[in-house]
Amino acid sequence: MSETNDYVIKVSNVSKDYGRHHILDSMNFTVPKGSIFGLVGRNGAGKTTIMRIISGLQKPTAGTVEYGFDHKKLGNVGALVELPSIYSNQTARDNLIFQYMNLGLKIDDSIDKSLEFVGLANTGNKKAGKFSLGMRQRLGIAMAMAGDPEVLILDEPINGLDPQGIILIRDLLIRLNQEKGVTIIISSHILSELSKLATDFAFVESGKVVKEITADDLENAGGLESEFYSGTPQQLLPVLNAMGLRTKIDEDGIIYAKGYYNLTDVVLAANAAGVNIARVVTKETDLETYFVKLVGGESNG
Amino acid sequence: MGNLFKCEFKRLTKSVFFWIITGFCVLWPILTAVFYHAILTLTFTESGLGFEEIELPKEVIMYLTWMIAISFITELPKFSALFTCLHLGREYTDGIVRNKVIAGHSRTRIYLVYSLTMLAANAFFCVVYILSAIFGLWISGLGFNLNGGEMFIRLGVGIVVFLSMVTIFSTLALIFRKRALPIILSIIIAMISSTTALVIGYFNMPAKAVNDYIDMRSERYEEMVDHGMLSQKIADKYEEDYDKNHYLGIGWKIFHPVYVITPIGFESDYQAATTGILFGADLEYTDEIDFSDDFVSYSYQDMSMFEHKDFKRVKSMHMSYSELNLIYLAKSFFYIILIGGWGLFIFRKKNLF
């Protein structure tokens, strides 16, 4: 593999059957290097299966997974698939030591740094079996991070966490991506959280990726839509355009604008231009709405 | 692979159960030796002889040394089954085996490391057990006799025989995701093998030795009839009772093949030589197995009245330790490779993670 690849993983026509059950059906997607790649789909859509295939736990029935890095090098892929894989009868530190040994890494102070990074530096002799779910998830991530992997695969890492735990994991993942340049592939049922993290999305339905989209494109495709009502819409239009909003006006003089803005700034700019705004109606198309629109039915990402 | 080995050995040292079994392997043979010393002291004291004044024959000491040292083969399987399945089972229940696959280790490598680590751990138990037995005999005052060091070879063969059973436990633990099933199966297998090892003692003679015994006995009866020591009718009756069907009946048909194709007859074969020593057998036979012990005991029941010396020149009834060692090593390694290989095949193919 060339080191100049702009992707870390390319899934091509991957299918997976369990007997007569077709779990994946010619799935295709590409994970850009340095991205946080969100896999969105209902229960049973095939998210976990494709993550297991990518992480090497399962082999596809058909199709290929190409890696844009040396995925056979020990520790180059870190994963937390389903539950964290940790020795429940060992401490957080011992768990990391075992993982380091598995990877042939030198046992040094980087273990303590990792524990500190995931906020488990003060767990002492407490066995991992007595950790809260959030602590176990963070330890699982620390273990997956051992050896500085190029790619981190996380299946439902915030499942079952309390709000505080979710925030901790989210911050941790953003730091990993931004500070260490780790590409993260993540699935989550909590789409509002996923939308705060992911830079790219793949929507999975019935074993297929039905849409791949970047966070920017998602915002453009949906984002905040507003209707501006004004007595002088033709004068308001350039004010809104000047604020970077994409606008159009209908025959009734209602201005439709797409994009995010600060309402106070818009009102002040309109006042400065001598234009009044009678009413603003906003409607935001978030990840969940987009998903429902895309696959139909109720969201159960 | 070295990384995984280091990790697994490190994990062993942190296993409480590993140290509990090691503790058992230290204490049990010492207690057994002390117990035997106490029994012998009591027996000699009650018979009016002071034990301190009696010097036990070196063959008897050798027998005691063998009996206590080799008893790991009956004492350890149930512990080993439990330990092996619990230790390896944790790799599944805690999901660690997935970590290793994800990290980039091949399934073959993972399987081999798990299996070999378990073999090493169980071999360690055996070695500790044997050394403790020798130590126990020494501190108890009975002393020990290793037959000039030759016994270490037989004990080594015993360890390999034991490891062939451990391979079954580790294979079961590695091909089932749930911990309970391999534990139950392994303990059942350990119990069945112990029982079979006891029963197989009656069928552990080479077929040639049985035929030779029957022929010898027929000749003896003919002589007895000729000398008027036995009527033809009684001779025929004994012939009938102890004819080939006695040995080649249903029990023989079931257990003898098991004895031939598995290493399960180890205990009875090697014990055969040493029980002979205790019961005053020809002490020439300290470097070979004497299959004639059972025939001697039968002969008192069927009037042929054979003694050990009658079987001395019957080749089929004797086998040197070196020959039998090779047979048991070959059988054990065959099963280790066969069962281990089958487990590896399943481990690589099956969706276990």
Instruction: Tell whether B42 and B113 lie within a shared domain.
Output: yes
Q: Work out the pLDDT band at A301, boundaries 50, 70, 90.
A: very low
Q: Using an 8 Å Cβ cutoff, are A181 and A152 in contact?
A: no
Q: What's residue A4's pLDDT?
A: 55
A→B interface, C-beta within 8 Å: 52, 55-58, 71-79, 81-90, 94, 97-99, 101-104, 143-144, 147, 153
DSSP string for B105-150: --HHHHHHHHHHHHHHHHHHHHHHHHHHHHHHHHHHTS----GGGH
Residue B201 lies in a domain: no
Beta strand A200-205 with A36-41 is parallel
What's the alpha-carbon Rg for chain B, to the nearest Å?
24
How many Å separate Cα B285 from the centre of its chain?
20
Residue B15 lies in a domain: yes
Q: What is the largest CA-CA distance in chain B?
A: 84
Instruction: Tell whether B189 and B265 lie within a shared domain.
Output: no
ipTM > 0.85, yes or no: no
Give the whole-number percent of chain A exceeding pLDDT 70: 93
Residue B297 lies in a domain: yes
Using CA atoms of B336, B339, B340, B344 in order, give the dihedral in degrees to the nearest 10.
Answer: 170
Q: Which residue of B has its CA nearest to A98?
A: B7
Instruction: Tell whether B42 and B162 lie within a shared domain.
Output: yes
Is the per-residue pLDDT at A29 higher than 50?
Answer: yes
Instruction: Tell whether B319 and B338 lie within a shared domain.
Output: no
| Calpha distance A140→B25 (Å, rounded) | 37
* B117 min Cα distance to partner chain A (Å): 14
Residue B80 lies in a domain: yes
| Calpha distance B76→B79 (Å, rounded) | 5
Instruction: Tell whether B109 and B246 lie within a shared domain.
Output: no
Asked whether the beta carbons of residue B98 and residue A81 sit closer than 8 angstroms, the reply is yes
> Which distant-in-sequence residues (6+ apart) come within 8 Å of A271 by Cβ?
none
Domains with residue ranges and CATH for chain A = 7-218 (3.40.50.300), 223-288 (3.30.70.100)
| Calpha distance A37→A201 (Å, rounded) | 6
* A90 min Cα distance to partner chain B (Å): 9
- Bridge partners of A79, per DSSP, are A153
Residue B117 lies in a domain: yes
* B183 min Cα distance to partner chain A (Å): 19
Residue B6 lies in a domain: yes
Residue B202 lies in a domain: no
In terms of average pLDDT, the best of A17-26, A166-175, B165-174 is: B165-174
Instruction: Tell whether B220 and B130 lie within a shared domain.
Output: no
As for how many domains chain B has, the answer is 2
Asked whether the beta carbons of residue A102 and residue B100 sit closer than 8 angstroms, the reply is yes
> A-chain residues within 8 Å CB-CB of B11?
87, 98
Q: Using an 8 Å Cβ cutoff, are B223 and B333 in contact?
A: no
Residuewise pLDDT in 10s, chain B (353 residues): 788 898 899 999 989 999 999 999 999 999 999 998 888 888 777 776 666 666 777 778 888 899 899 999 989 999 999 999 999 988 888 888 888 888 888 899 999 999 999 999 999 999 999 999 999 999 988 888 888 888 899 999 999 999 999 999 999 999 988 888 999 999 999 999 888 888 887 777 788 888 888 888 888 888 888 888 888 888 887 777 666 555 667 777 788 888 888 898 888 888 766 655 555 555 555 677 777 777 777 666 677 778 777 887 788 888 888 898 999 999 999 999 999 999 999 998 877 66
Give the structural domain span for B301. Answer: 207-325
Instruction: Tell whether B232 and B315 lie within a shared domain.
Output: yes
Instruction: Tell whether B177 and B288 lie within a shared domain.
Output: no
Instruction: Tell whether B53 and B124 lie within a shared domain.
Output: yes
| Calpha distance B317→B294 (Å, rounded) | 10
Instruction: Tell whether B101 and B212 lie within a shared domain.
Output: no
Q: Which residue of B has its CA nearest to A87?
A: B94
Q: In this structure, what DSSP letter does residue A27 have?
A: E
Instruction: Tell whether B320 and B343 lie within a shared domain.
Output: no
Residue B306 lies in a domain: yes
Q: What's residue A300's pLDDT?
A: 46
Asked whether the beta carbons of residue B99 and residue A85 sit closer than 8 angstroms, the reply is yes
Instruction: Tell whether B257 and B115 lie within a shared domain.
Output: no
* A281 min Cα distance to partner chain B (Å): 50
CA atoms within 13 A on the CB side of A191: 19
CA angle B161, B162, B166 (to 5 degrees): 120
